[in-house]
Each structure stands twice: as C-alpha cells, then as structure tokens.
C-alpha cells in the first residue's frame, strides 16, 4: 500500500521540475524536495534515529516543514508537531510525553525551551540543517516505511486537561489526501496551487499541503492571514485553493480596492469554522467569483470527514449553510444516543465517525483510547444530528451541554445568536449550579468598545430566536474570553470563575 514516501516519489516522477514549495522568495521544485529530504533522512539515521522514534518540530511555517516531514518519514520515524504558540512548560510537556529524541527548532523559538527540555532531547536548529546533512554519508541506507506505520503525532488542544498525542498512520494521511482530491479535482490542473495560511502543526493545514503535493501541485506557505496580505498574495500568485476564517474574508471585502484585484484563478475558498452567513456568501461570491466550502473533522479523524461543497455553499441554500455538509466517502457517520444506539433523523446525539483514516491511538493513553472508540467508530464528543438528506449539523461539544429544568441545552446555538448583536464582539455560554433548575445559563460577553450591557434588552433581543428555557438570565462582561493556543474558548476556566 502507498505510504507518504512512495506517494512523494510518484509526484516527483510526474512533475520533477515543477515548483513544489514557495515561501517568500524561496522555492523548491519536486526533485529538490525529494533530494533534500533524502539527505536530511540520512542525517537522522546517522544520528542514531531508529524506526518508530519520535522527532519533534517547533517552528513557524516555512519550506522546512515539509522537508522535515518527508525526511522523518524516510527515516521511518514519527513527526511530532508542536504548536509554536505554547508556553515553555507546555512545550516541555509535549516533548516529554512523546519521548521525542530530537527537536527541530526555529531560531525564533529558543525562548520556548526550558533547561529541562534542553536536557531531554537533542536539538537541531532549522537554520543549520544543511550542515547536518553534509555530515551524513550519501550511502546511509534508509529503512522502508510501511503503510501501517505511525507517521505523525499531533497533540489535541487540551481544553479539558493535558493534551493527548493523536497518532496517525501513513495510510490515514494518504487517505485524507485522497479525500481532498475527491472534492478538489482541479489540483490536477497545470499550475494548480494552494495557499497555506494556517499553522502547519494543525492537521487541516498539513493535510491541505499534502493533498496538493501528492498531486504535484504547488504549496505556497505564509505566516500571516492579514486581509491585505492575503488579497495581494492570491491575486499575484494565482492560487487555486485557500482556507480562511470568516474574519479574514470580512476584512478582505472591506478593502477599498478589493474589486481591482484579479482572483480569476481562485477555484475554492474553504471557510474555517462552522457555518457561514448567507450575506457573507453573497458578497464574497460577487467579489471573488469562486466556490466556497465548509467541512467538519478533527485531528482524530485526520481532518475533515464531511464536506459542504461549492454547489451547495451558496446564497439561497438556507438552513444547509448551517450544516457541515455530507460525509466524504468511504467514511461514514452515525449519530448515537448514550446507549450507543443509532438516533433517528434530526435527533441530537453523539457524532460517531467510521473511516479508513481514524487515529491509531492516543499515545500512551490506553484508557483514553478505549473510551474514544465504540464499535469500530471514533466517538467525537460532539453533539449533532443528521437530517433526512444526510447533512450533518454540529450542535455543540457534549461536555459543554447544560441541563436546565430537565432540558438539554447546547450553548453553541445561543452563542451564534449573540454574534448577530451589533454590540457583542465575543460570547460564551456556560452552566451555573442552580437549586431549582439544576443549572442556570450564564452568558459571558465581550462588548464592543463603548457599549454597555443591558440585560433586559439582551433578553428581549434573544426572545424571537430562542425558546424561553434557552435564554440566559445571568450575564457577565469580560474584556476577552480565555482561549487556548489554538483559539478554542476555555470553558473550564469560565466555569471556575463564573460557575
């Protein structure tokens, strides 16, 4: 079966001189990517790296990420990706938990290493890797990888505790790339390219790049998602595919000269997050004249497992725009109740995923691994439902559900209504113990500068959109919501403070 190593070889043979990676004014063609990653793999083996060893990378996006990824694969080791936004103790935890023998670190992240980290593994500066490669013998044999081998280990964001290492195999990563190919057939076109705007330590960004590279398409790598920068890059470099959060799309639409730019090469814009406003789709379609798409997935499912494509992510789609689309074949999704039985259409339960690209395990967490699987499917911990047409609607995280007066309430539904209020900049809803109702809803809001909260007026605003039992009566105003390194709201922190 295909591995990431053999898949790269096929891409090299298809388009040896084509540009594989572009970063600022640096670029590598496919032959160079193959040869340089070969050299680095031999340096790793010379260093004593053995099959199955963990090798970590801590750096911003650059050409070196994919060089390192393929080199680690060729050495039959496992790449541990580290979020560069983490604090030094958090970095140290991941390196120790994974047992990483070696760390590739960018020169700007020297401050992220504790003394304990420096003593726990070898450290290679990314900027000096060419020196390490020159020291390796070109005759050093490389152990062949197998499809079932672990390829990468990515850590969950840890909103409810310490992060867990999600182990993904070669076959899972290759199958995720193939899923991308099924919905982005234009990656086969001459000159096709993707713009990687998100951090490559995330599964979504890593998968996007691999899907392009394995089709011999170009990956443009950037370190910022500023609206002006992205608009300039897309028009100058004529990318086919780009993932962007709604905030950046909004920002691009507000640029005074946005309609003077040429976006004719852009085929699909992936909207990061859940759901998209119909007004935004209308304005963005008129400006960019491209398709829009949404997806749902996780690190444990090796990225997106559902897809709402350009044919459906359009103005006039109505409720479908709030869905995550339908499942990408050959994967399957089932909604299950607490007993593990299938739910009826439109009945909320836990989203359970069945796929050929599920994680192998949580590293060194056998109990958590067993708890994550049920009947061969991955228990997402997300609450949602499938409608009669098979469209998935993600309601909320099950652990964030509030039970008030015997009713199951999903805060995400309420938060989405808050976001439509002109004075609310950010919102989170949690439960607070209540002697009468079991739990009472508390809305924690970030207000627009200069705006004051009027609780009664806010309740009146919510009433037309929500059932009475879903309307918070308790309100707290904060300057900012606590978030982890990947941007998720830390509701455990909010519950400790306001619950």
Could you tell me if 275 and 412 are in contact, meaning their C-beta atoms sit under 8 angstroms apart? no
pLDDT band with cut points at 50, 70 and 90 for residue 486: low
How many other CB atoms are there within 10 angstroms of residue 422's CB atom?
Answer: 7
Does pTM top 0.95 for this prediction? no
Is 33 in contact with 21 (CB distance < 8 Å)? Answer: yes
- Asked whether the predicted pLDDT for residue 266 surpasses 70, the reply is yes
Q: Tell me phi and psi for residue 316, to 5 degrees.
A: 95, -5
Kindly indicate the confidence band of residue 274, based on its pLDDT and cuts at 50, 70 and 90: low
For residue 487, the model assigns a pLDDT of 67
* Residue 49 near residue 55 (C-beta atoms within 8 A): yes
Tell whether the model's pLDDT for residue 158 goes beyond 60.
no
To the nearest whole percent, how much of the chain has pLDDT over 90? 75
- Other CB atoms within 10 Å distance of the CB of residue 224: 12
C-alpha distances out from residue 361 to 1, 151, 157, 212, Å: 21, 12, 16, 27
Q: Tell me the H-state helices in 121-198.
A: 129-134, 170-183
- Reference 294, options 333, 240, 246; nearest CA is 246
pLDDT digits (tens, 9 = 90+) for 102-124: 999 998 897 778 888 888 899 99
Q: Residue 250 is encoded by which pair of tokens?
A: 């909004």
Instruction: Answer yes or no: is pLDDT of 376 > 60.
Output: yes
Nearest to 196, CA basis, from 253, 240, 151: 240
Domains assigned to the chain: 4-175 (3.40.50.12780), 224-397 (3.40.50.12780), 401-498 (3.30.300.30)
Confidence of residue 161 (pLDDT cuts 50, 70, 90): low
Least confident of 21-35, 141-155, 381-395, 397-411: 397-411
Neighbours of 484 (CB within 10 A): 17
How far is 466 from 392, CA to CA, in rounded Å? 21
What 3-state DSSP class applies to 262? coil
- At 212-244, the pLDDT tens digits run 999 999 999 999 889 999 999 999 999 999 999
Backbone angles phi, psi at 53, to 5 degrees: -65, 145
Question: Can you give the pLDDT at residue 116?
Answer: 83
Please give the pLDDT value at position 114: 85
- Cα dihedral across residues 112, 115, 121, 127: positive or negative: positive
Q: For the chain, how big is the Rg over CA atoms in Å?
A: 23
Residue 434, pLDDT > 60, answer yes
Q: Which of the four pLDDT bands, split at 50, 70 and 90, describes residue 467?
A: confident
Residue 275 binned pLDDT confidence (cut-offs 50, 70, 90): low
pLDDT of residue 159 exceeding 70, the answer is no
- Which of 269-278, 403-412, 431-440, 457-466 comes out lowest in average pLDDT? 269-278
- Cβ contacts of 332 within 8 Å, gap of 6 or more: 353, 354, 355
Q: Are 385 and 335 in contact (CB under 8 A)?
A: yes
**pLDDT of 358:** 98
**pLDDT, position 315:** 84
pLDDT reported for residue 205: 94
| Residues paired with residue 125 on neighbouring β-strands, in sequence order | 105
């Amino acid at each position: 079966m295909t591995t990431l190593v053999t898949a790269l070889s096929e891409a090299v043979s298809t388009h040896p001189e084509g540009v594989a990676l572009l970063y600022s004014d640096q670029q590598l063609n496919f032959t160079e990517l193959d040869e340089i990653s070969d050299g680095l793999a031999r340096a790793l083996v010379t260093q004593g790296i053995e099959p199955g060893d963990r090798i970590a990378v801590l750096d911003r996006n650059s050409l070196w990420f994919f060089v390192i990824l393929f080199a680690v694969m060729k050495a039959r080791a496992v790449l541990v990706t580290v979020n560069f936004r983490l604090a030094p103790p958090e970095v140290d935890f991941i390196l120790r938990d994974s047992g990483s023998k070696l760390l590739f670190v960018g020169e700007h992240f020297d401050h992220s290493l504790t003394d304990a980290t420096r003593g726990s593994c070898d450290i290679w500066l990314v900027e000096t890797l060419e020196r390490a490669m020159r020291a390796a013998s070109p005759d050093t044999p490389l152990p062949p990888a197998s499809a079932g081998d672990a390829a990468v280990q990515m850590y969950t964001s840890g909103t409810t505790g310490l992060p867990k290492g999600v182990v993904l195999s070669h076959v899972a990563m290759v199958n995720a790339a193939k899923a991308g190919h099924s919905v982005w057939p234009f990656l086969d076109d001459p000159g096709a390219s993707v713009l990687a705007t998100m951090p490559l330590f995330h599964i979504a960004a890593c998968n996007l790049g691999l899907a392009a590279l394995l089709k011999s398409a170009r990956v443009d790598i950037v370190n910022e998602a500023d609206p002006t920068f992205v608009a300039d890059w897309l028009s100058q470099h004529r990318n086919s595919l780009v993932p962007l959060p709604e905030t950046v799309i909004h920002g691009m639409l507000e640029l005074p000269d946005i309609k003077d730019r040429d976006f004719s090469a852009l085929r699909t814009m992936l909207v990061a997050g859940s759901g998209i406003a119909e007004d935004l789709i209308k304005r963005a379609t008129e400006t960019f004249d491209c398709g829009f798409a949404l997806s749902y997935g996780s690190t444990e499912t090796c990225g997106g497992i559902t897809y709402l494509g350009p044919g459906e992510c359009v103005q006039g789609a109505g409720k479908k725009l709030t869905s995550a689309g339908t499942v990408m074949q050959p994967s399957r999704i089932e909604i299950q109740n607490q007993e593990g039985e299938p739910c009826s259409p439109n009945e909320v339960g836990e989203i359970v995923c069945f796929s050929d690209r599920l994680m192998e395990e949580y590293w060194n967490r056998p109990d958590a691994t067993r708890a994550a699987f049920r009947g061969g499917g991955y228990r997402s911990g997300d609450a949602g439902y499938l409608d009669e047409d098979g469209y998935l609607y993600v309601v909320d995280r099950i652990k964030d559900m509030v039970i008030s007066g015997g009713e199951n309430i999903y805060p995400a539904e309420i938060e989405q209504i808050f976001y439509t209020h002109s004075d609310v900049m950010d919102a989170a809803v949690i439960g607070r113990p209540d002697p009468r109702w079991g739990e009472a809803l508390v809305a924690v809001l970030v207000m627009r500068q200069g705006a004051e909260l009027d609780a009664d007026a806010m309740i009146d605003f919510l009433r037309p959109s929500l059932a009475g039992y879903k309307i918070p009566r308790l309100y707290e105003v904060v300057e900012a919501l606590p978030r982890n390194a990947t941007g998720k709201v830390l509701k455990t922190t909010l519950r400790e403070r306001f619950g």
